[in-house]
Amino acid sequence: MSPASFDAGNDRLTREVRLFCYQCEQTQNDGGVLGCFGTRGACGKDAPTSDLQDVLIHVCKGIAQYAVRARALGAADIEADRFLQFAVFTTLTNVNFDTAKFVAWIGEAAAVRARMKALYENAARAAGNPPEQLSGPAVFAPAADQQGLLAQAAEAGVKFGVEKMGEDAIGLRALLLYAVKGVAAYSHHASVLGQERAEVFAGLERVLDILATDDADLGRLLEEALQLGRVNFSAMEALDAGNTGTFGTPEPTQVRISPVAGKAILVSGHDLKDLLAILEATKGTGINVYTHGEMLPGNAYPKLKAFPHLKGNYGGAWQDQQFEFADFPGPVVLTSNCLIKPQPNYRARLFTLGPVGWPGIRHIKGDLSPIIAAAKEAPGFAQDGPEQFITVGFGRDAVLGVAGKVIDAVKSGAIKHFFLVGGCDGAKTGRNYFTDFADNAPKDTVILTLGCGKYRFNKHDFGTIGGLPRLLDIGQCNDAYSALIIATKLAEAFGCGVNELPLSLIVSWFEQKAAAILLTLLALGVRNVRLGPTLPAFLTPALVNVLVEKFGIAPVGNANDDIKACMNRVA
């Protein structure tokens, strides 16, 4: 969309450009203007892709308008629910960059919307009520081709209507939209594992229905944000049930982080079902499989680590992929978000699955044989690397299994404090804060971690405390659910609330799943979260003040000062 449509008074934003996006932490700061605008965003997303994503979300709001009203009359369409969450997921940061795909999905979304309109109107008539005549996204007619869709994008952008609603309302609505994207991602992952929750589908649709209006009531929008946080807790619970029900309960496991000789496939992203499919397809082929990024926790699940050719983890967090994928001597598979622009030296051996896409990169549906063929053609690792290991798998069952020992250590004073230092990693400067925080945490404290931010320090030696490792890797970003269960059970054992525990949350954020998790923490009453390395660009100073005053949210500062404040229970 043209930024001139939302801020005619800002010379920097009156340039004739289409793209405007500020949904992730790597958002550009051009002379004090926060947001990616121009021809390409920091993630590599070009203006047409950005605009088409906005249009897709706009049509999805229309689907939600009908779905909410149909659901209130007892009518629902599970296939429409699934399409909606998938379509919203594709617009998450670093997922799909393929304009042709978005043109097709917009057409499919319009067809789904028509089906939901008929479902609602039939349900209304069956109940003896005249159907409500909806407006906005419900009746928006998407153009038939890409050029026409791009011409329509201005009315679908996140900043559209700012003159009427104001910057604070637009910022809070952006928080709702971006958190919806995070919830949709978790919910989609749960769906592919057979775990679906009607309340999650309903929650996604409810928020999109609200965003289809010009609602600018800050109090109401904030309450909807907290309700969405509760919905995300259900989505993470469903994903946890899908993961543990399919792959078993994570176990503390030593994971090799150096390669072994042989042909190899690298699997990145988040989708453990895709990892299982690749392991099954390569069984007996002599091809080894390695995890990358947020797939690291897969090594701790019994059903996955039972495959002897799952050799360990290669590389680190997503932002290093351009040189790590280049160095890997085999095909690389992206299973969900975290894709960045493929480089020429590995494009030919990069594959995408599910919602992921980049123009010209081979997308696989079902048949994994092209990946296996690429692995056989590639050189693989010529020799073993020096043996190196890290330990993962400290999910809630592992930690709560030794809860008695933990409680005794706290009561005796052996453990003075717990720090959850977790979340997303990223490419921008400032994330060394999290390394400094973990490294400087007192020796009588325990560090819990999750998400790919742990790559900043998970190879460091933190020693043990009370017979336990001081660094406990809980898992993926969605395993914030597991961390919350651990905190809740420990609070019950101590007879106090979670906020009274000797526990501090130090959260690094990058994209929209982090926004959903933040809302979950706030909805469950968790206070005094330290958030960084920067605060979201879509939060205005007034909204930041609300979060500070109501929930104790604080930006990260100096690591040593923040450690002292946490230890002294200073917000």
399 and 373 housed in the same domain = no
What digits encode the pLDDT tens for the residues 341-372? 999 999 999 999 999 999 999 999 999 999 99
Residue in 43, 137, 142, 139 with CA at minimum distance from that of residue 91:
43
Number of residues written out for the chain: 571
561 and 477 housed in the same domain = yes
User: What is the 3 state secondary structure string of 337-349?
Assistant: CCCCCCCCCCHHH
**8 A C-beta contact, residue 395 and residue 475:** yes
Q: How confident is the model at residue 569 (pLDDT cuts 50, 70, 90)?
A: confident
Q: How confident is the model at residue 10 (pLDDT cuts 50, 70, 90)?
A: very low
The domain boundary, picked from 321, 349, 377, lies at 377
pLDDT of 12 above 50 = no
Question: Is residue 194 in a domain?
Answer: no
502 and 531 housed in the same domain = yes
Question: Is residue 239 in a domain?
Answer: no
pLDDT of 17 above 60 = no
Q: How confident is the model at residue 4 (pLDDT cuts 50, 70, 90)?
A: very low
447 and 542 housed in the same domain = yes
pLDDT of 3 above 90 = no
Q: Partners of 40 in the beta sheet?
A: 46
Rounded Cα gap, residues 494 and 492, in angstroms: 5
pLDDT, average across residues 38-67? 96
Question: Mean of the per-residue pLDDT values for the chain?
Answer: 94
pLDDT of 15 above 70 = no
What digits encode the pLDDT tens for the residues 441-490? 999 999 999 999 999 999 999 999 988 899 999 999 999 999 999 999 99
Question: Is residue 237 in a domain?
Answer: no
Question: Is residue 339 in a domain?
Answer: yes
257 and 369 housed in the same domain = yes
Question: Is residue 556 in a domain?
Answer: yes
pLDDT of 2 above 70 = no
Question: Is residue 195 in a domain?
Answer: no
**8 A C-beta contact, residue 62 and residue 113:** yes
The domain boundary, picked from 350, 377, 404, lies at 377
Rounded Cα gap, residues 384 and 509, in angstroms: 35
Count Cβ atoms below 10 Å from residue 503 Cβ, excluding itself.
Answer: 21
Count Cβ atoms below 10 Å from residue 7 Cβ, excluding itself.
Answer: 17
131 and 263 housed in the same domain = no
CATH code, 459: 3.40.50.2030
pLDDT, average across residues 390-402? 96
441 and 549 housed in the same domain = yes
**8 A C-beta contact, residue 466 and residue 415:** yes
Give the pLDDT confidence score for residue 28 in this predicted structure.
81
pLDDT of 30 above 80 = no
354 and 468 housed in the same domain = no
Question: Is residue 199 in a domain?
Answer: no
CA–CA distances in Å: residue 266 to residues 52, 220, 315, 356: 31, 45, 10, 16
Rounded Cα gap, residues 203 and 205, in angstroms: 5
Domain boundaries, position 60:
3-170+206-214
In a 10 Å sphere around its CB, with 0-12 CB exposed, 13-18 middle and 19+ buried, how is residue 403 labelled? middle
Give the pLDDT confidence score for residue 29 in this predicted structure.
74
Number of folded domains that form the chain:
3
What digits encode the pLDDT tens for the residues 364-379? 999 999 999 999 999 9
CATH code, 72: 1.20.1270.20
Is the model's pTM score more than 0.85? yes
351 and 309 housed in the same domain = yes
297 and 445 housed in the same domain = no
134 and 34 housed in the same domain = yes
pLDDT, average across residues 279-306? 98
405 and 271 housed in the same domain = no
Give the pLDDT confidence score for residue 311 in this predicted structure.
98
Give the pLDDT confidence score for residue 38 in this predicted structure.
86
pLDDT, average across residues 151-168? 93
Question: Is residue 306 in a domain?
Answer: yes
